C-alpha cells in the first residue's frame, strides 16, 4: 500500500490523502511556514524509494527549489 504524501513544516509533519490535495493547499501551508519553506515527501508511481520536493514562495507563487530521491 503506497504511503500518503507528507509535508514537513515548522518541524511538524502533516499527511494528505493525495498529492493533488496537497498541491491545492500549498499556498496556505507556505503562508503558515515561519521560514517560507516546506518539504514534501512522497512516493512516485512506478518508482522505488522516496521522493522529496522543497517548496518556497517565489514572486507570490509556490515553486519547487530543490527535488530528488532520498
Which H helix or E strand runs over 3? Answer: none
Mean pLDDT of 5-19: 92
Which has more pLDDT, 3 or 32? 32
The answer to whether position 1 is within a domain reads no
**In which domain, by residue range, is 14 found?**
6-69
The answer to whether position 10 is within a domain reads yes
The answer to whether position 58 is within a domain reads yes
Q: What is the pTM of this model?
A: 0.84
C-alpha to C-alpha distance for 31 and 68, rounded to whole angstroms: 24
The answer to whether position 55 is within a domain reads yes
Instruction: Report pLDDT for 48.
Output: 77
Structural domains in the chain (count): 1
List phi, psi (to 5°) of 19: -65, -35
Question: Given pLDDT bands bounded at 50, 70 and 90, which one contains residue 26?
Answer: very high
42 touches 55 (CB < 8 A)? no
pLDDT at 56 over 90: yes
The answer to whether position 21 is within a domain reads yes
> Please, what is the average pLDDT of the chain?
90
Amino acid at each position: 500500500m503506497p504511503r500518503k504524501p507528507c509535508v514537513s513544516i515548522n518541524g511538524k509533519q502533516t499527511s494528505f490523502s493525495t498529492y493533488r490535495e496537497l498541491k491545492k493547499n500549498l499556498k496556505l501551508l507556505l503562508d503558515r511556514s515561519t521560514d517560507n519553506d516546506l518539504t514534501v515527501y512522497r512516493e512516485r508511481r512506478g518508482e522505488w524509494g522516496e521522493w522529496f520536493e522543497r517548496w518556497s514562495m517565489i514572486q507570490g507563487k509556490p515553486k519547487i527549489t530543490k527535488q530528488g530521491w532520498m
